[in-house]
Amino acid sequence: MPFAFRHQPLKTFYLLGVALSFLFFQLPFWTVRYLLPAWRPIREWSLSRLLLVKSLRVAVNAMFNTSFAPLKLDPVQEGPPEEVGLVWIEPKPELVVGEIEHAARVNDIHPIKVAGFWYGQRDENGKVGQPAGPDEKVIYELHGGGFVLGSAGPKGGSAYFCSEALQYAPHYTRVFQVEYRLSQGPPLESSGAFPAALIDAMLGYDYLVNTVGFKPSNIMIAGESAGGHLALALARYIVHASIPSLPIPSALMLHSPTVDWGNTHSGPNSSMNTHSDSDFVHDFLAGYPTRALIGALPPSDAYTNPWISPASLRLDLPEGLFVGLPPTLILAGAAEMTLDPMKTLADRMSADMGKDLVTYVEIANATHAVLLAKWHEPERTHAYEVFASWAHNF
């Protein structure tokens, strides 16, 4: 059960046990077990990189057994609003229609006021959220975290991508992130189930177009991990809802998108199994995030609902889901557990949109979300170069 040790004093005893086990058993064992390159899951990896990935898995597992509090950041506590680039966006219930409106009713989700963070260029007075220039371009980035943790603020993990993207794609002058609602489920109080994050992401896009004044032809939607899933869902919603005030953006960048929450890509030869030792996302795929995301929707929606799992192998009618979407880059790590679902997604998008509009790139020897990993060289730099070359066209 997740969060089994969330209460004191069990939490302290558990974390102490994790620390002692890590230092005196796991770390020495892994050092010996993977001492030679031939013994490592990725022969090209250094021992220090493998130990780091293993350590990340231990840390993630400890959070799932205790609390996500360290990585759930309150926007108002990030710092002074002007200093951290914080803005607030008012809700627009009229933007929620169709299947998304139905899911919102089932999960008792309502549009709310949400926070957003600006990165990059400011006006002459140092203010953020200034009106868009006639040809100014912006990246609308959606952070990852399995829909259960993470933040859009400067203390969040994806803030690194926001700064690096502006360096590698300098024709984009700003990056915007929205603090979408996170999902939570039993044993905690349920909140933020689907489509809360999508409604908040939609509000952020509406803000860019109809408040700040960016032309849709100058907006790239991007996201990593669960944020990649959310970016794809947002683009699909914009296309399928056909709301006049929400025009289609110019491009879509999906970085390690998590697109099969029902875990239908399984088996001994699947990437879920063969890449288990070269990734650290096991607990994100173990059930709790999926249950929290689905909320009161039928459990089968984990693998039959294209809004939840667009790459599921159990979808009834996968054809046509992606017709009309903008040019898309799918950036995957070849050592990721969720590599197979990303391949399925790329195939389905190519079939619906045409191969010319879908660019699928696997970064050799890269684990999950390589664009966020400063330590993951030379793969990190190669991934940014791929992104920059593709983004140059938009």
Q: pLDDT truncated to tens, each residue of the chain (394 aa)?
A: 899 999 999 999 999 999 999 999 999 999 999 999 999 999 999 999 999 999 999 999 999 999 988 777 888 888 888 899 999 999 999 999 999 999 999 999 999 999 999 999 999 999 999 999 999 999 999 999 999 999 999 999 999 999 999 999 999 999 999 999 999 999 999 999 999 999 999 999 999 999 999 999 999 999 999 999 999 999 999 999 999 999 999 999 999 999 999 999 999 999 999 999 999 999 999 999 999 999 999 999 999 999 999 999 999 989 999 999 999 999 999 999 999 999 999 999 999 999 999 999 999 999 999 999 999 999 999 999 999 999 999 9
CA distance 291 to 261: 9
Q: Where are the alpha helices (DSSP H) in the chain?
A: 10-21, 27-33, 47-65, 81-84, 98-106, 159-168, 196-207, 226-241, 271-274, 288-294, 301-304, 339-353, 379-391
At 284, list the tokens.
Answer: 């994100």
Q: Where are the domains of the chain?
A: 1-66, 70-264+287-391
Contact (Cβ atoms closer than 8 angstroms) between residue 141 and residue 161: yes
CATH architecture of 70-264+287-391: 3-Layer(aba) Sandwich (3.40)
Contact (Cβ atoms closer than 8 angstroms) between residue 105 and residue 204: no
Contact (Cβ atoms closer than 8 angstroms) between residue 165 and residue 379: no
At 18, list the tokens.
Answer: 């994790």
Q: How far is CA 388 from CA 168, 257, 321, 329, in A?
A: 5, 18, 27, 11
Residues listed for the chain: 394
Report field, pTM of the whole predicted structure over 0.85: yes
At 163, list the tokens.
Answer: 């700064």
CA distance 248 to 66: 41
CA nearest 92: which of 115, 114, 118? 114
| Secondary structure element (H or E) that encloses residue 255, with its range | strand 251-255
Contact (Cβ atoms closer than 8 angstroms) between residue 366 and residue 290: no
- The pair phi, psi for residue 147, each rounded to 5°, is 65, 5
